[in-house]
Each structure stands twice: as structure tokens, then as C-alpha cells.
Amino acid sequence: MPDHHETPINLDDAYALETPEDNRILYRKWASTYDADFAQRNKYVYPKTIAAICAELVDTDSTTKIIDIGCGTGIVGTCLSELLPAGIIDGVDISPEMLLIASTKSRVSTEPVYRNLFEADLAQPVTFARATYDIAISAGTFTHGHLGPNALINVLSTIRHGGRMVVGINIEHFSANGFNSALQMATDNHLISTPTFTEVQIYDEGSPHYRDLALVATFLVLSPA
Ligand SMILES: C[S@@+](CC[C@H](N)C(=O)[O-])C[C@H]1O[C@@H](n2cnc3c(N)ncnc32)[C@H](O)[C@@H]1O
């Protein structure tokens, strides 16, 4: 049956997912309406906020190599490309349909936002890159029904020694699913520096989800995972 005859997908559907395959199936259906029906309608400001936090950490004119973890349709990358026009941005996601939309996104310069887009299940060890990136950034992907702390540790291997991670984690998901102990263990094992945390709004005022919060963890990668 065509998707437009079905009930629109909402946040409850996304939060109720249980496996990477569930995610692949949901985002296959959601990709074409995600930007307008989810992001714009719900005043989803998280990508812009996290891009701004990331941009403050680097020289605006540098060719910083960034990987957008769970890039979806490319909203984070698009915001980043406006703040860091010389930045080289790659993206990774489990959903080929979301990646296809991301591949259509353009910079102000009309160049594509993303240089390379990788299809991968980040619940599994990473094979598409090793110690390649200066920064890994993520919004909306470490949340209920999506990725947990093991995936966060998996993606450290994509970042070069001395590079950084700027990762947003839904605050309830953070508390319920062991992110604190995973980050503490990585710190104790000298894989990462002690994280700093910034609490941010996921949605703007006027959104039905206003006051849903995320923690943005920022840290250095000290040795390959
Ligand atoms: C809520 S969307 C966020 C997309 C984008 N970062 C944004 O802020 O709009 C979550 C994304 O995580 C991706 N995802 C879910 N599980 C995944 C997995 N196991 N591996 C890689 N990506 C995954 C989904 O396909 C989806 O594009």
C-alpha cells in the first residue's frame, strides 16, 4: 500500500524501535517526509545547536574532516557547512533512503554538503574508516530505540588521535542506558579525555516536544579504540 495512505510517522514510532533492522524499515518509509513533516513541523533545532557547538571548537577556515554519525537526511551537515564552509563532511547512516536525501543537499557554494556517504550499521564494529576524522558529530541518533553506548564506543575508531567527538545524547536515554559508565570506562582506560556536557533543547519553543533535552558530550580521542 502506498505510504501516503498510512498514518504519519511520529516520534513515538521512532522511540519504540528495538533493532537496527527496525530502524532500517522505519527510516525507509520516513525519508521522503522527514525534513518537512518531522524536522520543520516540530521545530527541531538540535542539529543547528550541535553544529554551533562543534564550529566553536575549530578554525572556521580550516579543512577540518568531520564525520556526521547517523546523518539521516543531512540536516546536521547542512548546518555545519554554513558555519564551516571549508570543512570536509562525510556522513554515515544505516538507511540508504535517508542517505539518498542527504546526497541531494547543497552548500551555499552549490557544492554537495557531503563528500562521502557510507551505509553502515553502527551497532556493529566500524569498517568504513579508521582514525580518519578530526571530529565526529551526531544529533538525534543516540536516542530511545536507536543507538546505545556500545555504538558510541564503536565510532571512536573513526577519529584520529587528538581528534574530538561532539555527540548529542537524549537525556533520558543517557540516564537509562549506561552512557555514563561507558564514558567513565573509556576515560579510565585513557581512550578519551574527561567529557564536558552541555544541556540543550532538542525542539524550539512552540513545538509539541519543547523541553525534551539532550546532553552534548564533547571530548578528545586519546588513543584508537
Ligand atoms: C532521528 S534520525 C537523526 C538524523 C539526523 N542526524 C538529524 O538530526 O536529523 C536518526 C538516524 O539514525 C539512523 N540510525 C538508526 N539506527 C542506526 C544504526 N544502527 N546505524 C546507523 N544509523 C542508524 C537512522 O537511519 C536515522 O537516519
CB 27 within 8 A of CB 101: no
- Could you give the maximum distance between any two Cα atoms of the chain, in Å? 52
Q: Give the confidence band of 223 by pLDDT, cuts at 50, 70, 90.
A: confident
Q: What is the pLDDT of residues 19-71, one digit of tens each?
A: 999 999 999 999 999 999 999 999 999 999 999 999 999 998 899 999 999 99
The three grid cell numbers given for residue 33, joined into one nine-digit string: 517526509
Report which ligand 1 atom has the smallest distance to the Cα of 123. 19
| 167 within ligand 1 shell (Cβ under 6 A) | no
Average pLDDT over residues 12-22: 92
CA 22 to CA 36: how far, in whole Å?
A: 22
Nearest ligand 1 atom to the CA of 75 is 9
Band of the pLDDT at 7, cuts 50, 70, 90? confident
pLDDT at 5 over 60: no
Percent of the chain at pLDDT exceeding 90:
92
Can you tell me which residue has the cell 544541556?
A: 199
Q: Which residue has the cell 516536544?
A: 209
Please tell me if the CB atom of residue 75 comes closer than 6 angstroms to any atom of ligand 1.
Answer: yes
- State the residue range of the domain holding 175: 3-220
CA 149 to centroid of ligand 1, rounded, Å: 15
The CATH number for 197's domain is: 3.40.50.150
Q: Which residue's CA is the nearest one to ligand 1's atom 3?
A: 140
* Residue pair 38/62 in contact by the 8 Å Cβ criterion: no
In a domain? residue 23: yes
Single-letter code of the amino acid located at 191: L
- Cα of 166 from ligand 1 centre, angstroms: 16
Residue 1: pLDDT over 50: no
User: Is 102 part of any domain?
Assistant: yes
Ligand 1 atom nearest the C-alpha of 26 is 25
Q: Residues 7-24, buried b or exposed e (16+ Cβ, 10 A)?
A: eebebeebeebeebeebb
pTM above 0.85, yes or no: yes
Say if 109 falls within a structural domain.
yes
Distance 35 CA to ligand 1 centre (A): 13
Which of 23, 114, 126 is the best mutation target for the ligand 1 pocket, counting ligand atoms within 8 Å of the beta carbon and taking the most? 23
Instruction: Specify whether the CB–CB gap between 208 and 43 falls below 8 A.
Output: no
Domain count, the chain: 1
pLDDT at 3 over 50: no
**Structural domain contains residue 225:** no
Cβ 141 under 6 angstroms from ligand 1: yes
Rg (CA), the chain: 16
